[in-house]
Amino acid sequence: MKDYRLATGLNDKNRLQILSEIYNPSSLVFLRKHVFDTQAPASMLEIGCGHGHMTCILAKALSPHGGGIMGRDISESQLEIAREAARKNNLSNISFECSDISDKTEVPGGFDCTYSRFLLMHLHNRVEALRSISESLSESGVSIFEEPCLSSQFCHPYFPEFYEANALTIKLGEKLNLNYNSPVSLLEEISQFYHVEAINVSQPVLATSEHKMIIYESFKQVSKDLLSHALCSEADAHRIAEALYDFSYSPSGFAAGLRVLQIKARLK
């Protein structure tokens, strides 16, 4: 997944921690309803596990049922942090592997359930990735996908730089031939390999300074790409970043986070 535009390892530890705090609650509600409350899987695979926040939570949920989980990521620096998190939590039913879901030769098989969040948005070859994910399942396996729609974000009170940052990020995706914004095409792509069994839409509100800071942190990380693709000037990038930082600490400001499409899909 060479087109991942954000930082990795320790350089992204703070942003990913905030992201987990914002999106984990809804993810866990969906997983509990559509995976754990039906029949807990014996084996799970998380693809694009990053720092292992969800991997560790899922390992704890699987442990009473004798199940285990593997976390896969293309970045070894991400996995170093994930392995340390597993050690700190004394989790023996968890393993990690550095590999690329886009590489057809690196597809382990036989998992009861795969899970990914904000993975497909970073891929050019989503259909091939979905094929690889489907091939990693057992015959009766299910996949849980969570993917965002960037154009759904809004804030109150009106803050122009918030919308500028969002529009520029969407333009960057278009420039890179990455799809940050189309749940319709995503569902069609998933349906090539799966029957879609359940769909939910979740959109958290960012009310605290810490949670609103993810907007600033994310924009700061993509600014280099915005400049290199001539989507904005250095002065504009600096102006927007400063304004987003101020917005994060505005006591009266609210923002809607990413609208997330949550999908449960079973192999055809």
pLDDT tens for residues 183-203? 889 999 999 999 999 999 999
CA distance 10 to 76: 11
pLDDT of residue 3: 54
Domains and CATH numbers, the chain: 9-151+180-205+258-267 (3.40.50.150)
pLDDT of residue 107: 60
Q: Cα angle at 155 between 181 and 264, to 5 degrees?
A: 40
Cis peptide before 251 (omega within 30 of 0): no
Under-70 pLDDT residues of the chain? 1-11, 104-108
pTM above 0.85, yes or no: yes
Residue whose C-alpha is closest to residue 171's, from 239, 227, 235: 227
What is the 8-class DSSP label of residue 55? H
Q: How far apart are the first and last CA of the chain?
A: 26
Residue whose C-alpha is closest to residue 155's, from 187, 203, 196: 203
Cβ burial, residue 263 (10 Å; 0-12/13-18/19+): buried
- Six-digit token string for 191: 């349906």
- Largest separation between any pair of C-alpha atoms in the chain: 55
Strand, helix or coil for residue 257: coil
pLDDT of residue 14: 85
CA distance 117 to 115: 7
Element (H, E) at 263: strand 259-267
CA distance 84 to 86: 5
pLDDT of residue 102: 73
Q: Cα angle at 89 between 85 and 91, to 5 degrees?
A: 100
Residue recorded with tokens 């866990």: 28
What does DSSP say about strands 259-267 and 137-149: parallel, antiparallel, or unpaired? Answer: antiparallel
Strand, helix or coil for residue 25: helix
- Six-digit token string for 117: 């969040």
C-alpha atoms less than 13 angstroms from C-alpha of 134 in its C-beta half-sphere: 19
